[in-house]
Structure 1
Amino acid sequence: MHRRIFVPGVLAAASLLLAIPASAAGYAPGAPGIGDPYYPYYGNGGYDVSHYDLRLTYRPATDELEGTATIEARTTQDLSSLDLDFLLDVSEVRVDGAKAAFAASGQHELVITPKAPLAKGTPVTLVIRYRGVPSTKSAYGFSTWHRTPDGAVAADEPESAWWWFPSNDHPLDKATYDVSVAVPDGTQAISNGTLQSTVSKLGWTRYNWRSAKPQATYLTTLAIGKFDVTTGTSEGGVPVVNAYSADLGDNDGAARASVERTGELVDWLSGYFGPYPFSSAGGYVPNTTTGFALETQTRVYYSPRQFANGSNTSVVVHELAHQWYGDSVSLKGWKDIWINEGFARYAQWLWSEHEGEGTTRELADYVYASHPADDAFWTVKPGDPGPDDQFDLAVYDRGALAIQALRDEIGDDAFFAVLKGWPREHAYGNASVDDFRAYAERVSGKSLTALFDTWLFQPSKPAAATAAPAASLARTARPPAQPASWKSIEATNDVHGH
């Protein structure tokens, strides 16, 4: 858990010392947090962002980043000031063209005070000029900016934006993006969405990326380095862009053998989840020392360590499943993480069945039997695990057990209708565990309160009489055999262990 610790703010403009004018009477500062109980100071109150335009220049040799962020937003209250989440050094802020006062506050807040207060419902354009060395910045004792031998990567969860662009950093405030990055010739800049153009001039190449569908801040990624980029189109018509660091060493072949199947796997998942929700798909494998993967929207981040033991399509399935469950439909609050991780894990189970390496039932039986009643595994509540256990194994495996239990309860016809209908119902929006339960009840015509409570909210192992695997377990006194797919699934247990 990243705890909020206030430190004295550094004044960035002397005009901050001026009193708010009388015309601002009745106006109030926007809250320094969006209201998420897991991370009280993540995101901000008082406005909603619709678009980020990021124009950046990066020098790999020194890790220097210079940028101008133009943010289109609308106020949701009468504002005397507002916060953005950001760590780099700001030189100028303008609000609707006029210079504004600004200051750093606490661990990661940038407080902006416009010349005139902003009325509720007002469109507002913020322009922030900044620069810095991201690798020298930290908050709450950690950094999510990953240096590589030839550049850097921004990818992490639940936060990564602070190190490279100012934002309203919470999934509730999704926006579209234009990300334009200039790097020295011979270096590439990879980001989300589609590459609109590249322009080379005087030893620099500028890459212009666009994400035209709403995207959460933590799902926005930047990778700079020397990559081998491959492009193609899936059989279903989805453009695919993959990128591999030039120095992956022994992991190169296995990484390519896994990630190059992205188009095939996107089409396969579409059979369960409905049409792919974005303009492109793909992934990138930079030369980082991290161990996790992350479902960054349209362009999945994979650590080379995911392929240290050979190819693993299971991890690719997991991250691509998130494009529907987590990216297109994002969580309302971080306590709703089960909707992301439980379904991505269950997609791995479906892939196992497709490959003939163990059915979803066999995997459910194996997981259920592998954890005795006194195992701490059962004390984690996937429906509200708490910030310390947000990425605990139980959120994944017990979360997938809950999905199998739902399938058993409502039957395959209703279950697969829910699986495909949910991403359509909440496309490009946000939803909670309660929203999912209500939707499953509407589709199936069954009350599911007790089932959801048992599998997602009780800190104990469900009794055999109520457990989804009970019928098959009752047929034999022997524990179920380990499915052939288990080792590849187990290898992704640390997929978000960061």
Structure 2
Amino acid sequence: MRLRTRAGLGAVATGIATTLLTATASAAPAPGAPGVGDPYYPYAGNGGYDVSHYDVRLTYQPATDRLSGTTTILAKATQDLSSFDLDFGLHVNSVLVDNVPAAFHADPDENGELVVTPAEPLAANQPLTVVVDYADTPSKVVIDGYTAWKKTPDGALAVDEPQNSQWWFPANDHPTDKATYDISVEVPDDVAALSNGTLVRKTKQRAGWTRWNWRSTQPEATYLATLEVGAFEVNQSTTPDGKPFITAYDPATGESLDAAKASVERTPEIDDFLATQFGPYPFEARGGVVSTGLNFALEAQTRPVYSSKFFVAGSNTSVIAHENAHQWFGDAVSLGRWSDIWLNEGFASYAEYLWSEHESEGTPAELAQYVYDSHPADDAFWHVLPGDPGAANQFDDAVYDRGALALQALRTAVGDEAFFKILQGWVAGHSGGAARIQQFIALAERISGKPLQDLFTTWLFRPAKPAAGPNGASTFHAAAAPKSYPAIHRTHELLAAGHRY
């Protein structure tokens, strides 16, 4: 996500939230807050309503990068509203609220806020239907100095984190407001339109165009909803447990194409292994997309998206394990604030360690010790706090690697039986929602019966190298550096100069 650094945004959001909290039940309808109060991104999400479903119906022309259509939002007001915000940056033609035209305007600060004023105030606890009609060229839309939409030679990618929805559908864009989705995109016949969940239908309504209809039936955060348009090779099959398995490959991947297939096509096998560690796979479909149009991988719900660069040296199942571990940690259970990013990235990185052991390429203890020993005490690595890294360091290597070390330290402290009960209990207890780091610590203490706050403070919140390693003693060393570690590729690893991850 672009970093919002303008002075005063946090104070504005805090002031609005305080006003709402102190309002009396008899107060007049008031505007919904322009953010949910996330300290990293003050304008992320919106107050005053909760979304249950997005119906996104679009037409996209790759030749001109023109995107047009409507998004219908089913929601419920959580307060008496005189107006409310949607997170959106494209040009809007009209807005209907409960079938009545509503006034609307873009926030003049160009922060991606669309302010909607219904013809009549909205009552708390009442359902509402919002229909937004729009058309624009997403690659030309800049919000806070950044464009998440990625134009490619044959299409485009709406893939990014923490946000990408503002460039293709209006939303309450924060992981604490998850919803189900229908995403329908009409594109020229010679390209595919890929998204999350199940492909329920492909139809032709006019010559030269095909409409792709996707459905996600489980709660999904807005940044995990993705769209990939291009001349992909699309493969469809069914996994042994009966789930649709759809993969897609950019032909421009070239000589790495077979390596990419040798990795992504193993997704069901890798998911089945991860299920033995974390509990049942949480969603209705599986798959993956490989593209040359980006320089990172993202855990799009049910269908992660990978840069083709992950496969230039051959097959890479480590990144497949990482992104699919996010289906449990980050997708099924989302973070409550963006400062809780460790709950996503530390766990997915530790899943790479587990997969490495499964493949007989190094145990978690060996891999964690190798990372610990690789960073001397004066390394800046130890000054990034995985438990609250700051927006500028949200995807720093330390969040991933030091975050994984924290889990190995927890495993050492509580033992294997309690450790995996904690991981599985976390998913079972919060699936479909969002949660915070302190809730995880409380669960770990309850299951293990041990006080663990000091351990988590040491590994997640203290700017210093822990005196003892993740295996409980500074003298522990693997017999040799595990050969597999250099092949581990983090989700947002820097793959090309100039990119943030």
Query: If the length of structure 2 is used for normalisation, what is the TM-score?
Result: 0.92
Equivalent residue number for residue 18 of structure 1: none
User: Do residues 123 (structure 1) and 124 (structure 2) align?
Assistant: no
Shift of 1:214: 0.4
- Give the Å deviation of 1:172: 0.6
| The one of 50, 58, 61 aligned to 1:59 | 61
Describe the shift of the 1:199–1:493 C-alpha distance in structure 2 as closer, same or farther (beyond 3 A): closer
Superposed, 1:143-222 pairs within 5 Å as: 143-203=147-207, 204-222=209-227
Aligned residue for 2:33, secondary structure, equals coil
1:267 aligns with 2:293: no
Name the counterpart of 2:14: none
Q: What is the identity, as a one-letter code, of the residue corresponding to 2:376? A: P
Corresponding residue number in structure 1 for 2:388 = 384
Determine if the alignment matches structure 1 residue 494 to structure 2 residue 493: yes
**DSSP-derived class of the 1:436 partner:** helix
SS in structure 1 of the partner of residue 234 of structure 2: strand
Please report how far the alpha carbon of residue 242 of structure 1 lies from its aligned counterpart in structure 2 after TM superposition.
Answer: 0.5
Q: CA distance change for structure 1 residues 145 and 52 in 2, over 3 Å: closer, same or farther?
A: same
- How many angstroms apart in 2 are the aligned matches of 1:115 and 1:205? 37
Q: Does 1:235 align with 2:255?
A: no
User: Against the structure 1 CA distance between its residues 69 and 83, is the aligned structure 2 distance closer, same or farther, given a 3 Å change threshold?
Assistant: same
1:429 aligns to what? 433
CA offset at residue 470 of structure 1?
Answer: 4.4
Q: Give 3-state SS (helix, strand or coil) of 1:66's partner.
A: strand
Output the CA distance in 2 between the equivalents of 1:426 and 1:77. Answer: 25
Question: 1:256 is matched by which residue type in structure 2?
Answer: K
Tell me the CA shift for residue 456 of structure 1: 0.8
Match of 2:102 among 97, 100, 116: 100
1:31 equivalenced with 2:30 (yes/no) = no
Which of 297, 302, 306 aligns to 1:302? It is: 306
Structure 2 counterpart of 1:282, one-letter code: G
CA deviation digits over 1:286-338, x for unaligned, max 9? 231x2100001001011111112221000000000000000000000001100
The answer to whether the 8 A contact 1:342-1:397 is kept is yes
* Distance (Å, rounded) in 1 between the aligned partners of 2:440 and 2:238: 32
Q: Distance in 2 between matches of 1:355 and 1:185?
A: 41
In 1, distance between residues paired with 2:288 and 2:112?
A: 29
- C-alpha displacement of 1:119: 1.4
Is 1:248 aligned with 2:253?
Answer: yes
Q: 5+ residue gaps in structure 1?
A: 7-23
Question: Aligned residue for 1:372?
Answer: 376
Report the Cα distance in structure 2 between the residues aligned to 1:158 and 1:460, rounded to whole angstroms.
27
Q: Contact 1:292–1:497 (CA<8 Å) still a contact in 2? A: no
Deviation at 1:142, TM superposition (A): 1.3
Deviation of 1:278 (Å) = 0.4
Aligned to 2:324: 320
The change in CA–CA distance for 1:221 and 1:343 in structure 2 (over 3 A counts) is: same
Q: CA deviation at 1:492?
A: 5.4
List gaps (5 residues or longer) in structure 2.
8-25
Counterpart in the other structure of 2:4? 3
Change (3 A) 1:458 1:5: closer
Which amino acid letter does the alignment assign opposite residue 485 of structure 1?
S
What residue is the counterpart of 1:83 in the other structure? 85
RMSD (Å), alpha carbons: 1.7
The equivalent residue for 2:117 is 113
Amino acid paired to 1:131: A
The answer on 1:282 being equivalent to 2:287 is yes
Change (3 A) 1:474 1:169: same
Contact 2:295/2:307 (CA < 8 Å) preserved in 1?
yes
Residue deviations 1:9-33 (CA, integer Å, cap 9, x gap): xxxxxxxxxxxxxxx9711111111
**How far apart are 1:45 and its partner, in Å?**
0.7
Report the CA distance shift for 1:492/1:331 in structure 2 as closer, same or farther (over 3 A). closer
In the other structure, the counterpart of 1:481 is 480
Distance 1:475 1:455 in 2: 17
Mapping 1:319-468, distance limit 5 Å:
319-464=323-468, 467-468=469-470
Contact 1:233/1:263 (8 A) holds in 2 = no
Q: Give deviations 1:232-263, integer Å, cap 9, x for gaps.
A: 23334433111112322122111111111111
Cα offset for 1:438? 0.8
> Per-residue CA shift, 1:163-217, capped at 9, x if unaligned?
0000011001100000011111122110000011111132211111000000000
CA distance 1:493–1:417, shift in 2 (3 Å): same
Amino acid corresponding to residue 2 of structure 1 in structure 2 = L
> Following the alignment from structure 2 to structure 1, what is the Cα–Cα distance between the partners of residues 486 and 376?
20
* 1:56/1:182 contact within 8 Å kept: yes
Report the counterpart of residue 74 of structure 1 in structure 2: 76
Write the letter of the residue equivalent to 1:263: P
Taking every aligned residue pair, what percent have the same amino acid on both sides?
A: 58
- How far, CA to CA, are the matches of 1:302 and 1:272 in structure 2? 23
Deviating beyond 4 angstroms after TM superposition, the runs of 4 or more aligned structure 1 residues are: 490-493
Helix, strand or coil: the match of 1:425? helix
What letter corresponds to residue 229 of structure 2 in structure 1?
Answer: I
Of stretches 243-252 and 320-329 in structure 1, the one that deviates more from structure 2 is 243-252
**Aligned counterparts of 2:178 and 2:370: Cα–Cα separation in 1:** 38
